[in-house]
Every structure is written in structure tokens, then in C-alpha cells.
């Protein structure tokens, strides 16, 4: 990211996409970044005779009592079942729209992800243990605006990961729990097998990753309604195997809570190893830049994106140009701070060119996808 050409995503309209282009990567694998075109680009289911007999009467009574007992048992079971459904619904609602936490690290909020245990393992100091599990905490977040972007420091964006395929950085992603990474669907469109990918967390430079093992991917889930032509629903999840170990340098970002006031026309931050100019290669250092989120009305204006920005997208950057994400940033985070917590607002998706005037970056709207995200995480 720089004052001239920090581009959105690992892809752009014609350059922020994850679509392979001949000769874009050396030898082994095609690049997921297309050459610039005026088209949209994503960056980077018995009657008894005679006198009445006492025995038959008793039998009848026993039958009636039996029926009552059975009916009572069934009623209790139905009541318990209904209660269970209501409790499950309430917890799910709280998980998706509230601030509570659910087992397995699936529900992230300003509190912490749940690891299924109440005590810290190994006799750790409880304060330190809890500190390492909070989401949205940055130990070195930027305190002032960096025009055009700058190099990130350790601990600034601990949820940022680099996704490698064929030994090369192709896209970014964000940690949302020890097991789960969120990225863009277009990043995994070509290389869709989990075996194609390695995930690197806690690193600042690509050189550091060269000498690291990274984490393997056990499963990839792309949104079933992803449209590779318009980049609508451009979102995907990766489940890691084994999970990440949390630390100050490796930590989940918070998913938005229902009612969180992440209004438009507010500042947000983007980060990634994407190129700093259209058509460039990935940067050695993790970089960051501050952008402004705009309304869909603004971004769908004729001179901007002329109606291409859907409800599943957020538009952010600088209408004057000069600050943006670019090729190699696709799938990475756009975060905004509310109080002391950083929230994942967008996932780098596409854009036209990099840092061009009236062509801000387009990001997948995380709030729009919350039900889908939690549904996928609870399936496995």
C-alpha cells in the first residue's frame, strides 16, 4: 500500500481477482490475478354376559390409567423437546446476533472465544490465559492515519494470515477462531483442494514464511451462491488441522455483533502482502492502510461502479485515489475499531485497478454473511 497505488485485494477489476493468468507466477502455478480489463475483478441441503364383573371393570380402569400415564409421558417429552428447541434457538440467536460465546470457539465477540473449558490449562496465570483468548485485541495497533499505507509492526494485526499455494503467497485471510480462517471465495476457486494450501499466521514477512511449516487445511467451504462473474457472495472458510496456537501475534478478530454501530463513512484499516501498484508482485512486508467506508449509493453512482455494488458488498477506499488494496490482498481483512475492540467488517474482494480515482475497493460484507458463517462452523 502506498500513496500512489495500494490496490485492493489480490485482485482488482481486471486485477483484484483470484483468477489465474498465464505467466503471472513462475513456472509451477498460474497466477490468480488476471490482467487488467474493464471487467470486474476480485482481488486476489367382550362384553361379559350376566352381572357386571369386577375384574373387567378393573381392567378397564387399568387401561385408562395406562393411557393417562402414556399421555402424560408423551406430554412431558414434547414439553422437554420444545424447551430444548427454544433454548437452542436462543443460544444460536445469541451466538449469531448477540455477545455470548459458544463452545468450540465458534461465536466470537468482544468477550472471548470459547475453548470448552472453564479453567486455564497447565496452571497458567488466569489473567494471561484469558488475555490470549480475547478476540479483536491488537497489542500494537496504529494510533494515527498512515496516508497511502505503511509497513505493519508485530502484533498490530494478529488475525492476518497469508495463504500459500505452490509455495507462493496468493491471498490473505483472517483468523476468526483457532480452527477457522475466513477468506474470499475467488481465492479458492482454482485451487479448491485443502491439500493445495498452507496457512501462515504470526509472520510479518514472506521470507519468514519460507522457513516455516505453516498450518495445513482440513476443509474449504465456499459460499454456494458465489458468482464468479459479479463476485457476489465472495466469501469462503478454511478449517485448519491442527488448530492455531493463540498468542499476542496470533489471535482471532471479532465478528460483528448484532446492533454494533459500524456505520458508513467511518474509518477502517486494511492489511496484506499485496502489491503496491497495478500488475505488481506481492510485497515482502505486511502493509497496512486506512480507508473510508462509503455507502452503496455513493459507490453505485455512474462514475464510480454504476450499480455493481450489491448488498453483500461494502465499498471502501479513497474516492480521490491513492489508497487501496491490490493483487495479493484478496481474502484479507478490513477491520474497524469500536471502543478497544477490532471488528471484521469486510473481506477484500475486487475492484477496478488499484488506487484509481473514483474506484475504491470492494469488500464482502461480513455482517451480511454472519448466519452463513456460523452455520458452516456448526456443521463440522
Q: Identify the CATH number of the domain in which residue 89 sits.
A: 2.40.10.10
- For residue 337, the model assigns a pLDDT of 92
- Give the residue ranges of DSSP H helices in 176-267: 206-210
Q: Is 45 a catalytic residue?
A: no
Give the pLDDT mean for 241-250. Answer: 93
Q: Which of 44, 162, 164, 234 is catalytic?
A: 234
Q: Is 44 a catalytic residue?
A: no
* pLDDT higher at 108 or 207: 207
Give the pLDDT mean for 147-161. Answer: 88
* pLDDT higher at 199 or 261: 199
Residue 23 lies in a domain: yes
Residue 222 lies in a domain: no
| 31 close to 165: Cβ distance less than 8 angstroms | no
The dihedrals phi and psi of 300, each to the nearest 5 degrees, come to -95, 10
Spatial distance between the Cα atoms of 33 and 41, rounded to a whole number of angstroms: 8
- For residue 63, the model assigns a pLDDT of 44
Helices 370-379 and 54-97: angle between axes, nearest 10 degrees:
120
Give the count of domains, the chain: 1
Q: How much of the chain exceeds pLDDT 70, in percent?
A: 64
Render pLDDT for 43-70 as a digit per residue (tens, 0 to 9): 543 333 444 444 333 333 344 555 667 6
Residue 368, C-alpha cell as written in the block: 451480511
How many Cβ atoms from other residues are within 10 Å of residue 134's Cβ?
19
Q: By three-state DSSP, how is residue 335 classified?
A: strand
| 289 close to 21: Cβ distance less than 8 angstroms | no
14: left (phi over 0), alpha (psi -120 to 50) or beta: left
CA nearest to 346, candidates 259, 271, 261: 271
Q: Is 119 a catalytic residue?
A: no
Give the pLDDT mean for 170-182. Answer: 97
Spatial distance between the Cα atoms of 15 and 37, rounded to a whole number of angstroms: 8
Residue 41: band (very low, low, confident or very high) from pLDDT cuts 50, 70, 90: very low
CA–chain centroid gap for 185, Å, is 11
CA distances from 240 to 89, 111, 298 (A): 27, 23, 38
* pLDDT higher at 235 or 131: 235
- For residue 242, the model assigns a pLDDT of 93
Give the pLDDT mean for 267-277. Answer: 92
Residue 255 has pLDDT above 80, yes or no: yes
Residue 289 lies in a domain: yes
| 254 close to 275: Cβ distance less than 8 angstroms | no
Residue 74: band (very low, low, confident or very high) from pLDDT cuts 50, 70, 90: confident
- For residue 92, the model assigns a pLDDT of 44
Residue 272 has pLDDT above 80, yes or no: yes
Using alpha carbons only, give the angle 61, 65, 70 rounded to the nearest 5 degrees.
150
Residue 268 lies in a domain: yes
Residue 337 lies in a domain: yes
Q: Give the least confident one: 119-133, 137-151, 218-232.
A: 119-133
Residues 6+ apart with CB under 8 A from 173: 160, 161, 162, 163, 181, 182, 183, 187, 199, 238, 331, 332
Residue 262: band (very low, low, confident or very high) from pLDDT cuts 50, 70, 90: confident
Residue 367 lies in a domain: yes
Residue 107, C-alpha cell as written in the block: 461465536
Give the pLDDT mean for 177-181. Answer: 96
- For residue 79, the model assigns a pLDDT of 78
CA nearest to 258, candidates 134, 176, 374: 374
- Boundaries of domain holding 379: 1-44+54-157+253-380
Residue 88 lies in a domain: yes
Residue 44 CB-half CA count within 13 A: 40
For the residues of 360-379, what is the DSSP string, one character each? Answer: -EEEEETGGGHHHHHHHHHH
Residue 379: band (very low, low, confident or very high) from pLDDT cuts 50, 70, 90: confident
Q: Which of 162, 177, 330, 364 is catalytic?
A: 330
Q: Which of 44, 164, 169, 186 is catalytic?
A: 186
Render pLDDT for 283-330 as a digit per residue (tens, 0 to 9): 999 999 999 999 999 999 999 999 999 999 999 999 999 999 999 999
* pLDDT higher at 349 or 338: 349
Residue 373 has pLDDT above 80, yes or no: yes
By 3-state DSSP, what share of the chain in percent is helix, strand and coil, each rounded to 5? 20, 25, 55
- For residue 84, the model assigns a pLDDT of 61
Residue 141: band (very low, low, confident or very high) from pLDDT cuts 50, 70, 90: low
CA nearest to 196, candidates 24, 20, 29, 365: 29
For the residues of 267-317, what is the DSSP string, one character each? Answer: EEEEEES--SSTT-PPPSB-EEEEEEEE-HHHHTSTTTTTT---TTEEEEE
DSSP 201: E
Q: Between the CA atoms of 327, 331, 334 and 340, what dihedral angle is there, to the nearest 10 degrees?
A: -140
Residue 330 lies in a domain: yes
Beta bridge partners, 374, equal none
Return the residue matching grid coordinates 483470484. 18
Amino acid at each position: 500500500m502506498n500513496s500512489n497505488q495500494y490496490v485492493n485485494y489480490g485482485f482488482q477489476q481486471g486485477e483484484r481477482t483470484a483468477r489465474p493468468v498465464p505467466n503471472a507466477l513462475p513456472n509451477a502455478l498460474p497466477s490468480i490475478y488476471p490482467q487488467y480489463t474493464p471487467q470486474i475483478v476480485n482481488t486476489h441441503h367382550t362384553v361379559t354376559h350376566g352381572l357386571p364383573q369386577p375384574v373387567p371393570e378393573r381392567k378397564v380402569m387399568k387401561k385408562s390409567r395406562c393411557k393417562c400415564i402414556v399421555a402424560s409421558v408423551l406430554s412431558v417429552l414434547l414439553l422437554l423437546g420444545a424447551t430444548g428447541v427454544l433454548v437452542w434457538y436462543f443460544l444460536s440467536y445469541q451466538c449469531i446476533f448477540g455477545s455470548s460465546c459458544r463452545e468450540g470457539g465458534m461465536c466470537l465477540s468482544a468477550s472471548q472465544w470459547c475453548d470448552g473449558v472453564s479453567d486455564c490449562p497447565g496452571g497458567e496465570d488466569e489473567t494471561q490465559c484469558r488475555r490470549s483468548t480475547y478476540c479483536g485485541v491488537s497489542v500494537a495497533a496504529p494510533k494515527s492515519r498512515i496516508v497511502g499505507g505503511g509497513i505493519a509492526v508485530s502484533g498490530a494485526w494478529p488475525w492476518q494470515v497469508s495463504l500459500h499455494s505452490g509455495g507462493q503467497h496468493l491471498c490473505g485471510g483472517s483468523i476468526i477462531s483457532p480452527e477457522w480462517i475466513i477468506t474470499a471465495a475467488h481465492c479458492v476457486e482454482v485451487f479448491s483442494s485443502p491439500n493445495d494450501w498452507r496457512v501462515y499466521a504470526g509472520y510479518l514477512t514472506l521470507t519468514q514464511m519460507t522457513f516455516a511449516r505453516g498450518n495445513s487445511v482440513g476443509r474449504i467451504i465456499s459460499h454456494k451462491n458465489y458468482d464468479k462473474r459479479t463476485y457476489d457472495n465472495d466469501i469462503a472458510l478454511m478449517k485448519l488441522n491442527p488448530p492455531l496456537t493463540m498468542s499476542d501475534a496470533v489471535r482471532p478478530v471479532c465478528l460483528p455483533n448484532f446492533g454494533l454501530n459500524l456505520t458508513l463513512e467511518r474509518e477502517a484499516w486494511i492489511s496484506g502482502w499485496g502489491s503496491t501498484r497495478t500488475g505488481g508482485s506481492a510485497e515482502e512486508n505486511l502493509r497496512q492502510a486506512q480507508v473510508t467506508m462509503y455507502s452503496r449509493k455513493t459507490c453505485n453512482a455512474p462514475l464510480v461502479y454504476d450499480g455493481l455494488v450489491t448488498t453483500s458488498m461494502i465499498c471502501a477506499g479513497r474516492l480521490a485515489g491513492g489508497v487501496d488494496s491490490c493483487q495479493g490482498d484478496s481474502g484479507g481483512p478490513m477491520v474497524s475499531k469500536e471502543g478497544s475492540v477490532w471488528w471484521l467488517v469486510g473481506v477484500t474482494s475486487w475492484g477496478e485497478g488499484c488506487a484509481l480515482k473514483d474506484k475504491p475497493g470492494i469488500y464482502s460484507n461480513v455482517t451480511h454473511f454472519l448466519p452463513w458463517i456460523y452455520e458452516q462452523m456448526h456443521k463440522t
